[in-house]
């Protein structure tokens, strides 16, 4: 039987690449991409079913779930940390009311759900190196507040209603296909784009900023793998810590310069510096490894080589 999967936020940074991977693995008609206003790439539109919806509209969500006989939802629609600080009420509305709608529909139709949490659940008053799975969660951003509340909602819906919802705390995600939509970790993506386009970049956090990051193939594998894990192997329905690769901005700039001689970087920290400073340098992710076999595959150099190869190809093809 074909698994009928829906990706909410399917035109975003993670959703667009997850859609391609799930369609490649399970067949193009098995994955419905749900977008909002962002126009999907032609590849996404042509490679399988596509619909639009506002995630706050539960009726519309239910209608699509019934029409396509959806059995799994990857719910990736969110307002990220930078944009969220400009309009906190909007971030709450999309992130929390959107999640409740997905969980309600999942409860009604016995649907399995993947929902990503984030390093943003952590704040200043917990260990910043090897941050434990269970520690104080006092985020300083509205995005972080919605991720903590979202994790608790997932856990609640699982305990109270038996909804099979699974979650991970992603670090910053680096990728070359779709740009992230306004987060604090975006500099680690933008630096590659700007190196390829102009060989220079003005960075909005300082050179000593260290955050955990992850390359897109690992991010996609984590989502698919946790969804495939036996339900009783999961010891938490809160988000699992996922560590990736940690580096400072100066180290990242050096990595870029090696592949793009003459690359120039300037540092002009803005409000996102304070956000970055409140997040971990690295996370302890032993629980994810123990429970469902999580393992990071992409290191720093391999990731940088691949980013440059992909972005240079896109530049040559005129799609950058
Ligand atoms: N990438 C996100 C952000 O920067 C963190 O999960 O907002």
User: Residue 81 is part of a domain; what is its CATH number?
Assistant: 3.40.50.720
Atom of ligand 1 nearest to the CA of 84: 7
Q: What is the pLDDT of residue 45?
A: 75
Whole-angstrom CA distances from 170 to 161, 213, 258, 272, 279 are: 26, 8, 28, 18, 12
Q: Whose CA is nearest to atom 2 of ligand 1?
A: 183
Question: Does the beta carbon of 184 lie inside 6 Å of ligand 1?
Answer: yes
Residue 25 and residue 126 in one domain:
yes
User: In testing the pocket of ligand 1, which one of 120, 222, 273 has its CB within 8 Å of the most ligand atoms?
Assistant: 120
Question: What is the extent of the structural domain holding 311?
Answer: 173-213+244-281+298-317
CA distance linking residue 214 with residue 298, whole number of Å: 8
- Do the strands 72-75 and 117-118 form a parallel or antiparallel pair, or are they unpaired? unpaired
Question: Does the beta carbon of 140 lie inside 6 Å of ligand 1?
Answer: no
Could you tell me if 28 and 47 are in contact, meaning their C-beta atoms sit under 8 angstroms apart? yes
Please tell me the pTM assigned to this model: 0.96
Residue 87 and residue 226 in one domain:
yes
Residue 21 and residue 90 in one domain:
yes
Q: Which of 50, 68, 74, 143 is catalytic?
A: 143
pLDDT lower than 50: segments of the chain: 1
Classify each residue of 270-298 as buried b or exposed e, where b means 16 or more C-beta atoms within 10 Å of its C-beta: eebbebbbbbbbbbbbebbeebbebebeb
Q: What is the pLDDT of residue 2?
A: 64
Question: Does the beta carbon of 120 lie inside 6 Å of ligand 1?
Answer: yes
CA distance linking residue 278 with residue 120, whole number of Å: 8
Q: What is the pLDDT of residue 44?
A: 78
Q: What is the pLDDT of residue 36?
A: 85
Backbone angle region of 170, left / alpha / beta, with phi > 0 → left and psi within -120 to 50 → alpha:
beta
Is residue 286 included in any domain, yes or no?
no
Number of domains composing the chain: 2
User: In testing the pocket of ligand 1, which one of 12, 119, 219, 274 has its CB within 8 Å of the most ligand atoms?
Assistant: 119
Is residue 205 included in any domain, yes or no?
yes
CB atoms within 10 A of CB 232: 6
Residue 64 and residue 195 in one domain:
no
Is residue 188 included in any domain, yes or no?
yes
Residue 98 and residue 155 in one domain:
yes
Is residue 290 included in any domain, yes or no?
no
Residue 22 and residue 154 in one domain:
yes
Residue 84 and residue 229 in one domain:
yes
Is residue 289 included in any domain, yes or no?
no
Residue 113 and residue 144 in one domain:
yes
Is residue 102 included in any domain, yes or no?
yes
CA distance linking residue 43 with residue 23, whole number of Å: 12
CA 168 to chain centre: 9
**143 in active site:** yes
């Amino acid at each position: 039987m074909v698994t009928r999967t829906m990706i909410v936020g399917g035109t975003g940074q993670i959703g667009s690449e997850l859609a391609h991977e799930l369609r490649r693995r399970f067949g193009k008609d098995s994955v419905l991409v749900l977008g909002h206003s962002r126009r999907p790439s032609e590849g996404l539109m042509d490679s399988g079913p596509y619909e639009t919806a506002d995630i706050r509209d539960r009726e519309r969500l239910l209608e699509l779930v019934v029409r396509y006989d959806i059995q799994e939802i990857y719910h990736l629609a969110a307002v990220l940390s930078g944009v969220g600080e400009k309009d906190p009420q909007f971030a709450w509305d999309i992130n929390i009311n959107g999640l409740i709608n997905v969980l309600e529909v999942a409860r009604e139709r016995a649907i399995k759900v993947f929902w990503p949490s984030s390093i943003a659940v952590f704040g200043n008053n917990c260990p910043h190196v090897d941050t434990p799975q269970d520690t104080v969660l006092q985020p300083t951003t509205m995005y972080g507040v919605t991720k903590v509340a979202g994790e608790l909602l997932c856990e609640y819906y699982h305990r109270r209603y038996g909804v099979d919802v699974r979650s991970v705390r992603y670090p910053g995600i680096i990728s070359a296909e779709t740009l992230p939509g306004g987060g604090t970790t975006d500099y680690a993506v933008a630096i590659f784009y700007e190196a390829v386009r102009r060989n220079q970049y003005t960075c909005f956090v300082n050179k000593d900023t260290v955050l955990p990051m992850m390359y897109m193939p690992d991010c996609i594998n984590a989502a698919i793998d946790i969804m495939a894990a036996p339900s009783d192997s999961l010891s938490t329905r809160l988000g699992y810590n996922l560590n990736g690769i940690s580096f400072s901005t100066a180290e990242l700039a050096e990595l870029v310069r090696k592949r793009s001689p003459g690359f120039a970087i300037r540092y002009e920290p803005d409000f996102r510096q304070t956000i970055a400073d409140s997040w971990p340098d690295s996370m302890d992710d032993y629980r994810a490894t123990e429970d469902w076999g999580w393992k990071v595959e992409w290191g720093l150099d391999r990731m940088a080589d691949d980013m440059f190869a992909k972005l240079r190809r896109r530049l040559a093809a005129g799609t950058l």
